[in-house]
Amino acid sequence: MRDYLKFYINGQWVDPLSPRSLDVINPATEAVAGRISIGSAADVDRAVRAARAAFATYSQTSLDERVALLEKIIEEYKKRYADMAAAVTEEMGAPAKLANDSQAAIGIGHLSTALSVLKEYKFQEARGTTTLFKEPIGVCGFITPWNWPVNQIACKVAPALAVGCTMVLKPSEIAPFSAQVWTEILDAAGVPAGVFNLVNGDGPGVGTAIASHPEVDMVSFTGSTRAGIEVARNAAPTVKRVHQELGGKSPNIILPDADFKRAVTSGVRGVMQNSGQSCNAPTRMLVPNARMAEALEYAKAAAEATTVGDPVSSGATIGPVVSAAQWDKIQTLIAKGLEEGATLVAGGPGKPEGLSTGYYVKPTILGGVNNAMTVAREEIFGPVLVIMGYDTVDEAVEIGNDTVYGLAAYVSGGDIDAARKVASRLRAGQVNINSAPTDLNAPFGGFKQSGNGREWGEDAFGEFLETKAVVGFTPRSKT
């Protein structure tokens, strides 16, 4: 039983100003796994004021000092690696292997990437007699989700620390354990008081207070498009910078000359990983109508090879989804798809056999889908793939782009030039060709209602910097 009832403000673990607690549910057991305190606007104000005070000195630290700090954080993270992986499994149900090999690993990945970028980053540039200075934007508010909890904390905090910002973090109240471990790591690493602050809570109480606080200079939010709109609305009166990484309904176009078995199988696995709870999952698969029967056969086999089970067991490919509310939403959308005429290829409504306790969902494939159906338009956020047909590549691209989202897209094909051409036509912030591995230096973010701004790698630094032009910094030559 984890009791995390204090907040981390100004380098100290402190009690909330108005004590109120929330039970955290283990999605595999449906039992209470711990408690956190729910913060208030007053707690946020206390944290923001600590961050503002710390900014005066931390923003003036040298590059070498910030390099040393990131190196120390990485050192402490390695000591707590197993604790981080265990926290993710318990709070949101990621299988132990996924939690260890991906969820916890990506935290070190983002820290290491930020460290590498920092060592070479140019914070000053001469343009004639004018010199441009890139300076930390100030106090940052971070509101992070439950699905890849460490990833979304690390890819915000690491670059913000690297460039000299201070910050207040509100992690998801559904999955707050990993944020606690993260904070303990930063405390052990000696992050100066006030530079990083943690306030647990819900969106209305803490998220709104962060987004609207006049002393917060930028807010970075990851979550649903609906919630992102509210964050932007709350931030608007103070004209702060708003960075958003929101929803997705990513197309996965399998070209006629692709290695079909490999491409379809990889596409199914990409959706099922993390129980389908990834905003960039390739959830709309587009295949040539002439090869539809073949595609459905491969997809069915891949779904049925996906083992659902207890996340602490060694044999589980995927665990539960995060909550009862999420399970209900997924079930409703599966039923809606069947009602609207989709064909059930694999999985379907209800829990997998033998798993009556826990928020488990059957790996589900829906065929016979067209892009007007609800399951092709709405983000399901579960292990559910819809498959649609096309007759021409132009039609596939048109269907792929026919969405309010634009976070990610996928293309598989034997002719790399043809695949590149399709990739160039897709309206998405990141396009993956032929199941290329994750690149933490590649900018991550969306077009359209998938958000604005970019995370990961060098591009992430710009989100936390302002540009100052000093005209006449270099005097004109008198000759």
The answer to whether 167 and 3 are in contact (CB under 8 A) is no
* H helix intervals, 340-441: 374-377, 393-401, 416-425
The CA distance from 325 to 337, in Å, is: 19
State how far the alpha carbon of 133 is from the alpha carbons of 136, 155, 356, in Å: 10, 23, 59
- Give the three-class secondary structure for 26: strand
- Of the residues 279, 379, 455, 463, which is catalytic? 279
Using DSSP bridges, classify how beta strands 31-37 and 21-26 pair: parallel, antiparallel or unpaired.
Answer: antiparallel
- Of the residues 90, 245, 379, 463, which is catalytic? 245
Q: By C-alpha distance, which of 212, 6, 179, 163 is closest to 91?
A: 179
Whether 279 is catalytic:
yes
Q: By C-alpha distance, which of 9, 39, 145, 36 is closest to 88?
A: 145
- Give the three-class secondary structure for 87: helix
| 132-135 contacts, C-beta under 8 A, 24 or more apart | 132/467, 132/468, 132/469, 132/470, 133/467, 133/468, 133/469, 133/470, 134/163, 134/462, 134/465, 134/466, 134/467, 134/468, 135/59, 135/164, 135/465, 135/466, 135/467, 135/468
Whether 245 is catalytic:
yes
The CA distance from 311 to 27, in Å, is: 10
The CA distance from 140 to 160, in Å, is: 8
Element (H, E) at 13: strand 12-14
The answer to whether 403 and 446 are in contact (CB under 8 A) is no
Residues classed as catalytic: 245, 279
